[in-house]
Structure 1
Amino acid sequence: MITITFRGTGDAMGVPRVYCDCEVCGEARTGGVNRRYRSLVQLDSPDFGTMMIDCGPDWGRQMEAAGLRFVNRILITHAHFDHIGGLPEWADACRWLGVKGEAYAPAEVIAEILQRFPWLGRNMTFIPIDQPCTFGSWEVSAWKVNHGKNGYAYAFRFDQKDSGMAWAYCSDSIGLTGEQQKPLYGLDLLVLGTSFYKENFLYESRSVYDVTEALELLPVWEPKRTLFTHMSHDIDLRKSYPLPDFAEFALTGMEVSVGK
């Protein structure tokens, strides 16, 4: 079984945005329910211990909130700053503790990371995940997804062979092709990024699905449960939105379990 804990559910800028005086950002500044660090999940399993997906600039504060002093394995979806900005801090933790961290990502993502932070290899080992990897009883595969005007990202699918259960983490995507959608069919849990409830900007200028678009796709993909993450200050968690029973917004600190 995997326990998934949402340590961050925010988009690239987080909430509150430093320049913004909207009601959502104002409530977030008081420590309210809309306070959102950049998207990151913590995974815990008796099979493989603790690891995370992504390592953004809020990583240190997320570790403190989790009561963790170190994590030795992180999966990385893509090389945008909100997903890798904490890697130098993790590398410093590795250096001080004398432990080499393991960073798993597709080879092209690793190449981008090392272009930006060429010294990281001294304190962590980068492991390509272009082919499925096994962590305990889970097989983990990565596949490339459209990220709109921001290029590309990767999503991760976790399959537990003994139970037949599966879940996926797809934080940054829009306009997925039919082939890119295939790993999202029939999941026990889908974690999907949706920055706005209804985003009114030009489609070609956007990079992540909005909630209304996701709700049109869920009957096609048929996940048993969906949690929305990567939320901007457009989404106010104090409000009630017309969501089906099997879909909801992820909350900071929320824990869900998948598998046996």
Structure 2
Amino acid sequence: MDRLLFLGTGDAMGVPRVYCDCSVCMEARETGVNRRLRSSVMVEGDSESFLIDCGPDWRSQMETLEMRMTEKVLVTHAHFDHIAGLPEWADACRWTNRKGQLYAPSEVITQICAQFPWLKNHIECIAIDHGIQLAGWHITGWKVCHGKNGYSYAYRLEKGEYSWVYCSDAINLNHTEKQPMFGLNLLVLGTSFYHETAEFTTRSVYDMKEAELLLKEIKPNKVIYTHMSHDVDLNQEYPLPREVTLACTGLHVVLI
């Protein structure tokens, strides 16, 4: 049985934000419902699994799962909150005498290796510009608008009759960028705020109100929002479409 496990559901700062005493951050410190590590998921198959993204909370996420190694990681883009765990992973590979496998578009690999030039000593970097098969899933990626932060990659994963997309960091998608999102059983979408009031040109991720317009167009069967900031309180009920669920740490979703 294939499952999707949410290891982290936070934005780049995580929740609680170290400088913040807002009600959501305080709740995250006290009871932890809103505690969010940086966004990452594990795709679990019958005999193989892989991560999507490896941020600064990778070690904590592995300890929570009581896992001692990650074999394969698929990366969406070379921003800190998505790749800062790679050096620790590489060290783990070194100490266990293993060679991890990192999958990403070639331009993302180039950016990662420029930041961490020694990673290739312990991790095999595999370009997936023309797609890849992992855990029985056929995976294709495409570039999506990441607003003021440039671009990220979204991934469409297909096995049999089931199709789903992981798109953690995107905003203001154009017609071409939306096309791989039609006909989905599941969309995992980053929505940092319920309603973000910052000037649009300064933003980089959909808010939930904007995402609702996207959902009306592409019509996925099920939607899970992730990459959420301290603006989002899981103790509240938001007026969301009935197909939408807000991700929490440890959420398991059966994919097939």
TM-score computed with the length of structure 2 as normaliser? 0.98
Q: CA deviation at 1:241?
A: 0.4
Q: Determine the C-alpha separation between the residues in 2 that align with 1:258 and 1:3.
A: 5
Identity %: 53
Matches within 5 A, 1:26-65: 26-46=26-46, 49-65=48-64
Paired AA for residue 194 in structure 2: Y
2: CA distance between counterparts of 1:36 and 1:15?
5
Distance 1:10 1:185 in 2: 26
Query: Residues 136 and 11 of structure 1: is their aligned pair in 2 closer, same or farther, counting only changes over 3 Å?
Result: closer
2:149 alignment partner in structure 1? 150
- The answer to whether structure 1 residue 114 and structure 2 residue 145 are counterparts is no
Secondary structure of 2:189 counterpart = strand
- Residues 49, 135 of structure 2: 8 Å contact kept: no
- Residue 174 of structure 2 aligns with an amino acid whose one-letter code is T
DSSP 3-state at the match of 1:175: coil
Structure 2 residue 159 is matched with structure 1 residue 165: no
Summarize deviations over 1:71-125 as a string: whole Å, max 9, x none: 1100000000000000000001100110000000000000000110000000000
| Counterpart secondary structure, 1:102 | strand
| Runs of 5+ unmatched residues, structure 2 | none
Instruction: Give the match for residue 14 of structure 1.
Output: 14
Displacement after TM superposition at 1:186 (Å): 1.6
In the alignment, the residues of structure 2 paired with residue 118 and residue 138 of structure 1 have an alpha-carbon distance, to the nearest angstrom, of 30
Deviations 1:116-174 (A, max 9, x none): 000000000000010111124321001000000000100111011xx321001000000
> In the alignment, is residue 3 of structure 1 matched against residue 3 of structure 2?
yes
Structure 1 CA distance for aligned equivalents of residues 59 and 31 of structure 2: 18
C-alpha separation in 1, matches of 2:58 and 2:138: 25
Count how many residue pairs are aligned between Structure 1 and Structure 2: 256
1:257 maps to what in 2?
A: 254
Counterpart CA distance in 2 for 1:50 and 1:165 is 17
Q: Secondary structure at the match of 2:43?
A: strand
TM-score, structure 1 as length reference: 0.97
The answer to whether the 8 Å contact 2:44/2:135 transfers is: no
2:187 is matched with which residue?
A: 190
Question: AA paired with 1:25?
Answer: C
SS in 2 for 1:212: helix
- The 1:76–1:211 alpha-carbon spacing in structure 2 relative to 1, beyond 3 Å, is same
Unaligned runs of 5+ in 1: none
The answer as to 2:94 corresponding to 1:95 is yes
Following the alignment from structure 1 to structure 2, what is the Cα–Cα distance between the partners of residues 109 and 83? 11
- Residues in 2 aligned to 1:136 and 1:23: alpha-carbon distance in whole angstroms: 40
- What letter corresponds to residue 196 of structure 1 in structure 2? F
Q: Cα gap change, 1:226/1:235 in structure 2, threshold over 3 Å: closer, same or farther?
A: same
Identify if the C-alpha distance between structure 1 residues 245 and 21 changes in structure 2 by more than 3 Å, giving closer, same or farther. same
- Superposition RMSD in Å: 0.9
SS at match of 1:57: coil
Q: Secondary structure at the match of 2:35?
A: coil
Q: Residue 3 of structure 2 aligns to which amino acid in structure 1?
A: T
| Alignment match, 1:201 | 198
Deviation at 1:36, TM superposition (A): 0.1
